[in-house]
Amino acid sequence: MAANDNHEKSPSTKLIYSRCQAVQAENVTVLEGGTAEISCRLQNYDGSIVVIQNPRRQTLFFNGTRALKDDRFQMVLFTPRLVRITLTNVSVSDEGGYFCQLYTDATHHQVATLSVSVPPETPTIEVKQEAVEGAEVELTCLSPRSKPPATLRWIRDRREIPGVVSQQDNGKTVSVSNTIRLPVERKDNGAAISCEASHPALGGQKRIRHYRLDVHFAPTVRIIPPPGILREGDSLSLTCSVTGNPLPRNVLWSRINDTIPERAEFSGPTLQMSRLSQTHNGTYLCQAQNNYGRAADHYTLLVYDPGAVVETHSAMPYAVIGGILALLVFTVICVLIITIWCSVRQKGSYLTHEASGLDEHGEVQEAFLNGNDVAQGKKEYLL
């Protein structure tokens, strides 16, 4: 009976011991393309069978012996306390739970979850249609693959431009896009704009794609005139300054209502003429065009005869002197007229008073002869 008791006790003791065995697994996160370490920690290991399986429940190692022909998996440590394998060149297809199994009287297992993080590559920028002055341009920043989804931001002049963000699942990765629409003018041509991609796997760093706006617009034309006066025998060089996007390949020189002189030479946008004469006079026109418009500018050439120029300058003082003399003569005439008018007016006043005195003397004499009272006559005169 005692023997039977000992026989029953021994298995009971083994069962208790086996229950004390345990296995622990640690979760792992690794960047795509990196190396993952999958560890199984053992407690009270007594030499039982240890099996490691992949997420598809395929056995990778059986007590330290390779069971699956995949050289990316390597057994790097097998001790009574720790079993560790490595997986190189990790991809998102390797994600999932890796089983650490301990086969005793009761099977124990733990799952080590492998997570693969996929940082975004430098995003790309797509232009839906060419940018034209006065219209809008649509730009899309695209990050085709990331996990978790990348964050995309448009930046111009250190300020964020809000856009429309969309995501699309691609299996275990996500495609992210950010689209903006910008009104553009010719002054925006060449303006810098960028798209930034941020992601937890990048830490504080960013993947940035730079872009310069390419705004198409009609050309502008300006003829750069020569300084000073052009005389016979001089040389003339006219440069036609042209802007535009795309830049016109050629400029067209012409002469309004006449032909370009035979001895004229063209060098790119420059028109050159030597030994100028009166026959070169006229209006010269420079024209340029691209797919978005046409522009022109003109220059009127007037070649002076040096002799005529000297004669003109020498005649100027005489004209001034003649004007001064005419003014003096006019002033003298005005003074004489005023003087004569004043003299005539004073003389007329004197004659009037003299005639009045003679009339009074005659009346007195007549009264004396008629025997009348002088005072009475005077009174009647006064009345």
CB 194 within 8 A of CB 155: yes
**What is the rounded distance in angstroms from the CA atom of residue 52 to the CA atom of residue 83?**
9
Phi–psi pair at 33, nearest 5 degrees: 90, -10
Phi–psi pair at 102, nearest 5 degrees: -120, 115
| CATH of span 22-117 | 2.60.40.10
Percent of the chain residues topping a pLDDT of 90: 63
| Residue 373 clears pLDDT 50, i.e. is over it | no
Percent of the chain residues topping a pLDDT of 70: 80
**What is the rounded distance in angstroms from the CA atom of residue 99 to the CA atom of residue 91?**
18
**Could you tell me the pLDDT band of residue 71, with boundaries at 50, 70 and 90?**
very high
**What is the rounded distance in angstroms from the CA atom of residue 265 to the CA atom of residue 113?**
80
**What is the rounded distance in angstroms from the CA atom of residue 81 to the CA atom of residue 119?**
35
DSSP codes of every residue in 70-102? -TTEEEEEE-SSEEEEEE-S--GGG-EEEEEEE
Task: Print burial letters for 21-43: b (CB count within 10 Å at least 16), e (below 16).
Answer: bebebeebebebeeebebbbbbe
Phi–psi pair at 63, nearest 5 degrees: 50, 45
Phi–psi pair at 27, nearest 5 degrees: -70, 150
CA atoms 46, 49, 53, 56: torsion sign: negative
**What is the rounded distance in angstroms from the CA atom of residue 229 to the CA atom of residue 238?**
14
Q: Nearest Cα to 143, choosing from 48, 207, 47?
A: 207
* Fold (CATH) for 218-301: Immunoglobulin-like (2.60.40)
**What is the rounded distance in angstroms from the CA atom of residue 33 to the CA atom of residue 115?**
12
- Interval 97-154: pLDDT, tens: 999 998 877 778 899 999 999 999 999 999 999 999 999 999 999 999 999 999 999 9
- Interval 143-162: pLDDT, tens: 999 999 999 999 999 999 99
- The mean pLDDT of 2-29, rounded to a whole number, is 52
Pairing of strands 265-267, 207-212: unpaired
Give Cα 285 distance to the centre of its chain: 32
Structural tokens at position 351: 């004659």
CB 231 within 8 A of CB 309: yes
DSSP codes of every residue in 238-286? EEEEEEEESPPS--EEEETTBPPPTT-EEETTEEEE-S--GGG-EEEEE
Mean pLDDT in the chain? Answer: 83
Pairing of strands 28-31, 108-117: parallel
**What is the rounded distance in angstroms from the CA atom of residue 250 to the CA atom of residue 220?**
13
Q: Give 66's strand partners.
A: 61
Range(s) of the chain covered by CATH 2.60.40.10: 22-117, 124-213, 218-301
Amino acid identity, position 28: V
- The mean pLDDT of 296-319, rounded to a whole number, is 66
Alpha carbon of 297 to those of 225, 267, 287, 308: distances in Å?
Answer: 11, 18, 7, 30
| Strand order, beta sheet including 192-198 | 159-161, 151-156, 192-198, 207-212
| CATH of span 124-213 | 2.60.40.10
Quick one: pLDDT at residue 253? 95
